[in-house]
Amino acid sequence: MDTAVGGASMYQLSPEIKEFRDVARRIVRDELLPLEQEYLKHPEQAYGLQPMTNLRAVFPKQVADRLEKIARDTGLWYVMVPEQHGGMGLSMLAQVVIIEEFMYTAVPFPWVNVPNILYECTGAQAERFLKPVIEGQKIHCFAQTEPNAGSDPGGMMKTSATRDAEQWVINGTKMWISGAAEADLILVQAVTDAEKRQKGGITMFVVERGTPGLKVEQPGIPTWLSQKAAQYFVHFDDCRVGPENVLGEVGKGFNLGQKWLTIHDRLLRGPYSLGKMQRALDMSIEWAKNRVTFGRPIADRQAIQWKLVDMYVDIMSLRSLTYEMAARADSGEDVRSEAAMVKMVAAEWGTHCLDHAIQIHGAMGESSELPLTQFYRYLRHYQIGGGTNEIQRTLIARKLLRG
């Protein structure tokens, strides 16, 4: 992380990126926003579910099918897929720009969220695990967190895997696993060497739905994120898998987990937050211009103006930071600390931004007809999910103090 002031920016949006951004923006305005109120009111929509699962739970089949067709026809279904696997091979910068547009609405757009570590698949694994995820035929979830090993997964992880003849036997429990009930593939970390742990003693396994000894506890864990629970306990009781279910190398699973967290649960919190923040600002400006109290629009009042300015400054700052760090990732730079910074400020600034928006809207800000309270819950969750903001500060401090 370069702490120098005044360094040149590494990113610039190419005409290709702007074109994809504009396509995404039109889809949001023309296809998704008209569906938003129906989506917000539906009890089956839930945080943490894959987009197509959510769409099919809420809308008639023809609506979900139409959105999937749009995604595939425009190529945006493959926004995260490298060219060698049939995708567009977009840069990380292009991905965050496009994803930001889709986060402008509560209605999910069906782009396929392929975990970057699944590209570690080799040989027959690619046909068995990777390709079905890319094509939307199988759904995955990531299982690292445990009941007593949230912020220190490497040191406190109890889920273990031992070699028994030609198989691995997994035992343990994972907790707060988003989308586990719908997942066909669970990417699970287990201790294979208790002495080495995160330094070569944790392995990543791909466990398929229906494997004996695997149980997703129902019902899920209720939270304030949505009416329907989408986070779960996942139990492994003498769950046997073959060596072909090892993702990457034995003992290298913690590194894979960090690679997943860096991009999917930290850097991408930037665009996840930005879309919601921009929508909140746009709604707040429109509301402030039209809401009249004591004979004047509330936009004339300094208290409202300052809230709008604070929102705008946070959005512009986060966008610059997010795009810059995505460009650094594209250049091959190790951005673990930088991704932690993006996640931390995206969560905190995003929460403040939505709090301002709700306050500007007054009682209407609490209405379920608007997406503001849902956006607030999601952004507040970002201060915990994927590693607390306190942990992100610790990661950033380590890099600073190492010089």
Residues 113 and 145 in one domain: no
Answer whether residue 158 is part of any domain: yes
Q: Is the pLDDT of residue 3 over 90?
A: no
Residue 11 is predicted with a pLDDT of 75
Answer whether residue 9 is part of any domain: no
Residue 148 is predicted with a pLDDT of 86
Last residue of a domain, one of 205, 225, 254: 254
- 350: nearest Cα among 391, 381, 386, 327: 381
Kindly report the pTM of this predicted structure: 0.94
- 251: nearest Cα among 288, 205, 308: 205
Residues 104 and 172 in one domain: no
Residues 199 and 178 in one domain: yes
Q: Please give the residue range of the domain that contains residue 160.
A: 140-254
- Is 332:15 a contact under the CB 8 Å cutoff? no
Residues 187 and 292 in one domain: no
Last residue of a domain, one of 185, 219, 254: 254
**Average pLDDT, whole number, for the chain?**
95
Q: Quick one: tokens of 289?
A: 């211009």
Q: What is the CATH number of the domain that holds 350?
A: 1.20.140.10
- Upstream peptide bond of 219 is cis (omega within 30 degrees of 0): yes
Answer whether residue 129 is part of any domain: no
Over residues 91-131, the pLDDT tens digits come to: 999 999 999 999 999 999 999 999 999 999 999 999 999 99
Residue 369 is predicted with a pLDDT of 93
Q: Are strands 160-164 and 246-247 parallel, antiparallel or unpaired?
A: unpaired
User: Could you give the number of structural domains in the chain?
Assistant: 3
Answer whether residue 127 is part of any domain: no
Answer whether residue 366 is part of any domain: yes
Answer whether residue 125 is part of any domain: no
- Is 328:335 a contact under the CB 8 Å cutoff? yes
The answer for residues whose C-beta is within 8 angstroms of residue 338's C-beta and 6 or more apart is: 1, 267, 325, 328
Q: Detail the DSSP E strand segments found in 179-294.
A: 185-191, 202-208, 214-216, 231-241, 246-247, 292-293
d(CA 62, CA 56): 9
Residues 87 and 155 in one domain: no
d(CA 107, CA 54): 9
Residues 209 and 94 in one domain: no
Q: What is the CATH number of the domain that holds 157?
A: 2.40.110.10
Longest CA–CA span in the chain (Å) reads: 81
Residues 396 and 310 in one domain: yes
Over residues 14-23, the pLDDT tens digits come to: 999 999 999 9
Question: At 68, is the pLDDT very low, low, confident or very high (cuts 50, 70, 90)?
Answer: very high
Residue 403 is predicted with a pLDDT of 66
The answer for residues whose C-beta is within 8 angstroms of residue 259's C-beta and 6 or more apart is: 116, 117
Answer whether residue 124 is part of any domain: no
- Is 187:142 a contact under the CB 8 Å cutoff? yes
Task: Residue 290: count other Cβ atoms within 10 Å of its Cβ.
Answer: 10
Residues 79 and 177 in one domain: no
The answer for residues whose C-beta is within 8 angstroms of residue 390's C-beta and 6 or more apart is: 151
d(CA 194, CA 197): 5
Last residue of a domain, one of 209, 236, 254: 254
Question: At 329, is the pLDDT very low, low, confident or very high (cuts 50, 70, 90)?
Answer: very high
Over residues 218-233, the pLDDT tens digits come to: 999 999 999 898 999 9
Q: What is the CATH number of the domain that holds 36?
A: 1.10.540
Answer whether residue 382 is part of any domain: yes
Residues 100 and 152 in one domain: no
Residues 276 and 376 in one domain: yes
Q: State mean pLDDT over 178-207.
A: 97
Residues 241 and 284 in one domain: no
3 state DSSP class of 205: strand
Residues 113 and 193 in one domain: no
Q: Which letter, b or e, does each residue of 52-81 get, where b requires 16 or more Cβ atoms within 10 Å of its Cβ?
A: bbbbbbbbeeeebeebbebbbebebbbbbb
Residue 273 is predicted with a pLDDT of 98
